[in-house]
Structure 1
Amino acid sequence: MHILLNHINKFIKIVLLSILSVFFVSSSNAELSVEEIIKSRQALFSKNYSTAKRVQALSSKGDFEKAKKLMIEMSENYKVLIDLFPENTQEGFDTEALLTIWDEKDDFNALMQKASDDMTKLVSVIEDADDIRGTLTKFMWSNCKACHSRYREEH
């Protein structure tokens, strides 16, 4: 029972932190410097990538409860990212974002929203998936690839 309460407590903290992040970013973007905004989005994308790798590892091992919590976290991060691309953050501070983001802002925002929605869908289908790897590709990795190929500088 104690373990269950710890998991519930951690889940509630993640949800509250995500909600606060969304509120903080959208209400105070004007107060953040260009550098802070760019570094914030870089950190969130980096976090989502490392989290995605953990989701894959956990799902492959059948540890779906831990994976689902991370999926929800990633979903919330994508929502936050929508607000981290104001016009004045197109250059500088080692941003790898292509100007295409601002030229196609509605499409970019739609992709971030789709990535968020797909992570939520992944939560509901992952346990029943016959092909874990294929399901992760469809709902998680394909969105990463779509964003990288269209909106990020090549490495």
Structure 2
Amino acid sequence: MHKLFNHITSSIKILLLSTLTVFLVSASYAEQSVEDIIKGRKALFSKNYSTAKRVQAYASNGDFDESIELMIEMSENYKVLIDLFPENTKEGFKTEALPIIWEEKDAFNALMKKASDDMVKLASVIEDSDDIRATLKQLMWSNCKACHSNYRMPH
């Protein structure tokens, strides 16, 4: 019970800090150049990918505290990404974003929100999962695939 309480307390602290970070980061992106925004979103997607690989490694090894912290971090990153696709960032600076993001902005934003929500859900169910790999695929990797399939240039 003590471990659960510590985990909940830690998760709440991370969530509060992450929420504050989202507000500060969102405000600062409004003043950045197109190049900075494009490079920033590419870096954040790249960070989420490397973090997802770490989540999978930790969870597969039963290191749930570490994986849950990273899941919450990824969740917050997805929220930030919603604000990193203003109209003036459709082209340039080696963006791999497809125009459909701006044509179907509500659907893209919904996917980022779903990815964020799914990471929170994953954090709450991973320890009790009978099949960690399938749970990760369903709640983490499927969102990555959906975004890449619909909104990113193939490579």
TM-score (norm 1): 0.89
Deviation, structure 1 residue 13: 6.8
User: In 2, distance between residues paired with 1:46 and 1:74?
Assistant: 11
Residues 79 and 112, structure 1, Cα contact 8 Å, conserved in 2: yes
Q: What pairs up with 1:34-73 in 2 under 5 angstroms?
A: 34-73=34-73
Alignment map for 1:63-142 (pairs within 5 Å): 63-142=63-142
Structure 2 Cα separation of the partners of residues 80 and 118 of structure 1: 15
Superposed displacement of residue 22, structure 1: 1.4
**Aligned sequence identity (%):** 71
Counterparts of 1:13-28 in structure 2, within 5 Å, are 16=17, 18-28=18-28
- TM-score, normalised to structure 2's length? 0.89
**Matched length:** 148
Any conservation in 1 of the 2:14–2:69 contact (CA below 8 Å)?
no
CA shift digits 1:98-144 (9 cap, x unpaired) = 00000000000000000000000000100000000000000000000
- Residue 30 of structure 1: CA displacement? 2.9
Q: Distance in 2 between matches of 1:125 and 1:14?
A: 17
* C-alpha displacement of 1:14: 8.0
Q: 1:50 to 1:22 in 2, by over 3 A?
A: same
- Deviation at residue 31 of structure 1 after TM alignment: 1.1
Aligned residues of 1:25 and 1:84 also touching (Cα < 8 A):
no
Question: In 1, Cα distance between the equivalents of 2:115 and 2:44?
Answer: 14
Measured in 1, the distance between the counterparts of 2:89 and 2:70 equals 28
Distance in 1 (alpha carbons) for counterparts of 2:48 and 2:87: 23
2:106 & 2:36 partners in 1: Cα distance?
A: 23
Note if contact 2:44-2:81 (Cα within 8 Å) is conserved in structure 1: yes
**Runs of 5+ consecutive residues of structure 2 not aligned to the other structure:** 1-5
Distance, in Å, in 2 between the alignment partners of 1:13 and 1:112 is 20
C-alpha separation in 2, matches of 1:131 and 1:68: 16
Q: Structure 1: where are the runs of 5+ without partners?
A: none
SS at match of 2:23: helix
